[in-house]
């Protein structure tokens, strides 16, 4: 009969307590967490010709992309934020951020 030992790695309780907030309080400070690179900003400006692009919206789209949401999910989540968060604008931001990613494949060094 084999005996297995299971160990669960988790953060210490002190670390969990430091991240707790009051119920119903959300941290919306996205600029501290995710930043746009210069190539992403230039691609976004190319997609949105004729006016200054909404970089706050682009940061929100990028955050959701990094959390592995699909384009349709991003549209469902963000389209109710009011003016400037229409489906076309979100699709343009998503396309620009997707184009600015480095290619992954054969012969490309990954980090």
Residue (of 39, 31, 34, 51) closest to 97 by Cα position: 39
Domain spans in the chain, listed from the N-terminal domain onward: 51-101
Other CB atoms within 10 Å distance of the CB of residue 76: 13
Stated pTM of the model = 0.62
What pLDDT does residue 107 have?
56
- The 10s digit of each residue's pLDDT in 49-104 is 877 888 899 999 999 998 889 999 999 999 888 888 889 999 999 999 998 877 66
* C-alpha of 1 from chain center: 48
- Please tell me whether residue 23 adopts helix, strand or coil conformation: coil
What pLDDT does residue 80 have?
85
What pLDDT does residue 79 have?
84
Mean pLDDT for the stretch of residues 27-45: 75
What pLDDT does residue 84 have?
80
Contact 74, 94 (CB under 8 A): yes
- The 10s digit of each residue's pLDDT in 3-16 is 656 555 555 544 44
- Is it the case that residue 18 has pLDDT exceeding 50? no
Radius of gyration of the chain from its Cα atoms, rounded to whole angstroms:
19
């Amino acid at each position: 009969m084999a005996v297995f030992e299971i160990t669960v790695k988790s953060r210490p309780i002190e670390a969990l307590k430091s991240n707790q907030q009051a119920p119903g309080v959300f941290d919306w400070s996205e600029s501290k967490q995710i930043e746009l690179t210069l190539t992403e900003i230039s691609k976004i400006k190319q997609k949105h010709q004729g006016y200054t692009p909404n970089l706050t919206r682009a940061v929100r789209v990028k955050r959701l992309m990094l959390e592995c949401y699909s384009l349709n999910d991003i549209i469902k989540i963000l389209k109710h934020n009011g003016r400037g968060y229409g489906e076309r604008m979100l699709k343009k931001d998503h396309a620009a951020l997707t184009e600015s990613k480095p290619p992954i494949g054969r012969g490309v060094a990954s980090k």
